[in-house]
Amino acid sequence: MSLIAHRLTLRTVTRTLVDALDLALESGEVLGILGANGAGKSTLLTVLAGLAVPAHGQVTLDGQPVVGLPPLARAQHLGLLPQGDEGGFFGCVADFVALGHFPFDGSPDLAPHLAAWELADLADRPLDTLSGGERQRARLAQLAVQQARIALLDEPLTHLDPAHQARLLAWARGEADTGRSVALTLHDPNWAACHCDRLLFLYGDGRWQLGTPAELLTPASLEALYGPGTAALWRQGR
């Protein structure tokens, strides 16, 4: 299954975020998207998911414009973890996680997903009584239940402690190893180097770069991306 951005241009009222992006998300790939706050990372994921229309260009899923697909059919192939925390859900954790199976018939087997994200003991707890990290794990479990061929994750490491960050990135690698595709926004170049096959740098002014971690992750490139003094973020290869 291929998700392809053709000459994609993303704009706000005042500026161009991404100009003429060509991107094919490959099966079996983990793609890391890096850039400063406001560079267009969340906007790009929303457009790739078919939930917003670009200024120019289009996104296709197996050759079909993604915005033209019926929402239910799109959800059977594409999964999106948005950056914002869901408010107003008053059910328990198990009910929230089970929503990931909504595009499909039948009842999901929640047990392995609850166990994988250490939620089994919290399954009957109201979602709104959980900590921020626990809620994030519930959101990740919900996405895992969906079992989308293509998963798009916006700031998935938010609120997670280092152990669960490592678990999330291992999950992404495992998904790719089964032939699925994962794209996720990150801020830590060291995590990106360890777990991503390719990186997309967004500069927030229309410019972008696509390449392997070895090609893009250098102290100079990080300072160009994030600003002076940020080369200290990069610890690999010292």
pLDDT tens readout for residues 184-194 = 999 999 999 99
Q: Does 4 reside within a domain?
A: no
pLDDT in the model for residue 16: 97
Last residue of one domain, picked from the residues 98, 131, 147 = 147
pLDDT in the model for residue 32: 98
Last residue of one domain, picked from the residues 147, 176, 195 = 147
Nearest to 158 by CA among 184, 177, 129: 184
Q: Please tell me what DSSP assigns to residue 122.
A: G
- Average pLDDT of the chain? 94
Q: Is 177 exposed, middle or buried (0-12, 13-18, 19+ CB in 10 A)?
A: exposed
Quick one: which H or E segment has residue 29?
none
Question: Residues of the chain with pLDDT > 90: what percent?
Answer: 89
Q: Specify the number of domains making up the chain.
A: 2
- Same domain? 119 vs 213: no
- Same domain? 71 vs 127: no
- Same domain? 68 vs 172: yes
Nearest to 101 by CA among 153, 139, 147, 66: 147
Query: What's the whole-number mean pLDDT along residues 174-189?
Result: 96
Is the pLDDT at 68 greater than 60? The verdict is: yes
- Same domain? 155 vs 229: yes
Under 8 Å between Cβ of 55 and 47: no
Query: What's the whole-number mean pLDDT along residues 168-195?
Result: 95
Is the pLDDT at 209 greater than 60? The verdict is: yes
Q: Is 178 exposed, middle or buried (0-12, 13-18, 19+ CB in 10 A)?
A: exposed
Q: Does 11 reside within a domain?
A: no
- Same domain? 190 vs 72: yes
Is the pLDDT at 236 greater than 70? The verdict is: no
Give the distance, in angstroms, between the CA of residue 86 and the centroid of all CA atoms in the same chain.
Answer: 16
Alpha-carbon dihedral of residues 212, 213, 215, 220, nearest 10 degrees? 150
Can you give the residue range of the structural domain that contains 128?
86-147
Phi then psi for residue 42, to 5 deg, are -65, -40
Residue 116, SS3 per DSSP = helix
- Res. 135 pLDDT band, cuts 50 70 90: very high
CATH number at residue 159: 3.40.50.300
For residues 121 and 94, give the distance between their C-alpha atoms in angstroms, rounded to a whole number. Answer: 10
- Res. 38 pLDDT band, cuts 50 70 90: very high
- Same domain? 44 vs 111: no
Is the pLDDT at 238 greater than 50? The verdict is: no
- Res. 234 pLDDT band, cuts 50 70 90: confident
Under 8 Å between Cβ of 90 and 162: no
- Same domain? 103 vs 212: no
pLDDT in the model for residue 231: 84
Nearest to 59 by CA among 150, 173, 177: 150
pLDDT in the model for residue 90: 85
- Same domain? 107 vs 223: no
- Same domain? 91 vs 129: yes
For residues 175 and 148, give the distance between their C-alpha atoms in angstroms, rounded to a whole number. Answer: 10
- Same domain? 167 vs 69: yes
